[in-house]
């Protein structure tokens, strides 16, 4: 099988869908002539032209709203946010318009639109450029939220998102763009709402998505040396959530840790922990534990930033906690 970077996989998904369906277009800051702030859309302008690859001014509310209006009447926009931090300028458009138009109109409006771009912290970008926003969006009925961890998932899920008839929040890992992985040659899609077991094990279930999957896998490699086997579940789609897969794993391991980059207070991990408690209470041999980013705006200094991030060490420590070892 071929190896592609996460970035290339995303690009391939968009190119294939644009090729297949004329209603699909890409719009955002720097997506065209500059070839993408993170080069995800590199070459797409040359291939599809200015009608389908639309550079915008810095106007998140404006172009998110334009995308929503276009989707209301049958186009299938892909709206790129340079990063998800800036989507907060358009939060009103996403939460009050994209998520609600169908319901509020009694089902008259269908809104096939994808909002995508990089999320999460990179390196030393400080508070306004380093945040995981998935909880902010997963909170909202009417939105679907996806956060893929591998090139193969990124491609298959983005293709499905583009074909979905609902507004989809597609959060890419900013630090994953260069990450390489196998991607099959033949065309494929991955259904939304289905997780994947990224590693099987019987001792502790780890639920993680996006770049935290990699921290979980690294922790698993390390702990395997001591004979501790982690089962790593990547829900991939955060809403709708594949909690069945999580419950099944917890029934086997009886222990669960949720690893997420975002803040702990009212974060997604809290919801997942609640569901496990409610559905699998009798199966638990230890309380469900969360490993999250620290409850603080991201500092700039390298050492402080390192403290905030929920890395491998913290995952390993949490595993020892739930194993009472």
Closest approach, Cβ 99 to other proteins, in A, equals 9
70 binds other proteins (CB under 8 A): yes
Which one of residues 20, 21, 49, 103 is an interface residue with other proteins (CB under 8 A)?
Answer: 103
Q: Which of 16, 30, 42, 129 is catalytic?
A: 129
274 binds other proteins (CB under 8 A): no
Nearer to other proteins, 23 or 314 (CB): 23
Nearer to other proteins, 164 or 222 (CB): 164
Number of residues that bind other proteins (CB under 8 A): 43
Cα 311-317-320 angle, rounded to 5 deg: 145
For residue 133, which of 89, 96, 176, 98 has the smallest C-alpha distance?
89
User: What are the tokens at 241?
Assistant: 């959530």
227 binds other proteins (CB under 8 A): no
Nearer to other proteins, 12 or 242 (CB): 242
Residue 129 falls in the annotated catalytic set: yes
240 binds other proteins (CB under 8 A): yes
248 binds other proteins (CB under 8 A): no
d(C-alpha 206, C-alpha 199), whole Å: 10
Q: State the binding string over 174-213 for other proteins (x if CB under 8 A, else -).
A: ----------------------------------------
- Of 99-107, 129-137, 169-177, 290-298, the window that binds other proteins (rule: CB under 8 A) is 99-107
**Which residue spans within the chain are E strands per DSSP?**
2-5, 24-28, 53-55, 76-80, 113-119, 144-146, 167-173, 180-183, 196-199, 204-208, 230-234, 237-239, 256-259, 289-291
Asked whether the bond before 240 is cis by omega within 30 degrees of 0, the reply is yes
DSSP, res 176: G
- For every residue of 62-131, DSSP letters joined together read HHHHHHHHHHHTT-EEEEEPSSGGGGGGGHHIIIIIITTHHHHTTS-----EEEEEEES--SS--GGG--
75 binds other proteins (CB under 8 A): yes
CB atoms within 10 A of CB 122: 13
Closest approach, Cβ 321 to other proteins, in A, equals 29
List residues near other proteins by CB under 8 A. 25, 51, 56-57, 59, 61-75, 92-93, 96-97, 101-111, 141-142, 144, 165-166, 240-241, 243
Residue positions annotated with a catalytic role? 60, 129
């Amino acid at each position: 099988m071929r190896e592609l970077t996460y970035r290339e996989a995303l690009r391939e998904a968009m190119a294939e869908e644009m090729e297949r369906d004329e209603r699909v277009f890409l719009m955002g800051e720097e997506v065209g002539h500059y070839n993408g702030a993170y080069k995800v859309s590199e070459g797409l302008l040359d291939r599809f032209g200015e009608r389908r690859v639309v550079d915008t001014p810095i106007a998140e509310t404006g172009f998110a709203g334009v995308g929503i209006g276009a989707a209301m009447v049958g186009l299938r926009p892909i709206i790129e946010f340079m990063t998800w931090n800036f989507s907060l300028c358009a939060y009103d458009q996403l939460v009050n318009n994209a998520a609600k138009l169908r319901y509020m109109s009694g089902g008259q409006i269908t809104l096939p639109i994808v909002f995508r771009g990089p999320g999460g912290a990179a390196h030393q970008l400080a508070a306004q450029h380093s945040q995981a926003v998935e909880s902010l969006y997963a909170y909202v009925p009417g939105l679907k939220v996806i956060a893929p961890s591998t090139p193969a998932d990124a491609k298959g899920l983005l293709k499905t998102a583009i074909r979905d008839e609902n507004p989809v929040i597609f959060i890419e890992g900013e630090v994953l763009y260069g990450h390489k992985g196998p991607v099959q040659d033949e065309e494929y899609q991955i259904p939304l709402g289905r997780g994947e077991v990224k590693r099987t094990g019987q001792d502790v279930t780890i639920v993680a998505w996006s770049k935290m999957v990699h921290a979980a896998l690294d922790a698993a490699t390390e702990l395997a040396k001591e004979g501790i086997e982690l089962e790593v579940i990547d829900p991939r789609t955060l809403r709708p959530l594949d909690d069945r897969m999580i419950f099944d794993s917890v029934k086997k391991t009886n222990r669960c840790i949720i690893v997420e980059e975002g803040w702990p207070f009212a974060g997604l991990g809290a919801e997942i922990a609640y569901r496990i408690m409610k559905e699998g209470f009798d199966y638990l041999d230890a309380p469900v534990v969360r490993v999250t980013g620290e409850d603080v705006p991201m500092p700039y200094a390298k050492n402080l930033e390192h403290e905030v991030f929920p890395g491998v060490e913290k995952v390993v420590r949490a595993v020892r906690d739930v194993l009472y070892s």
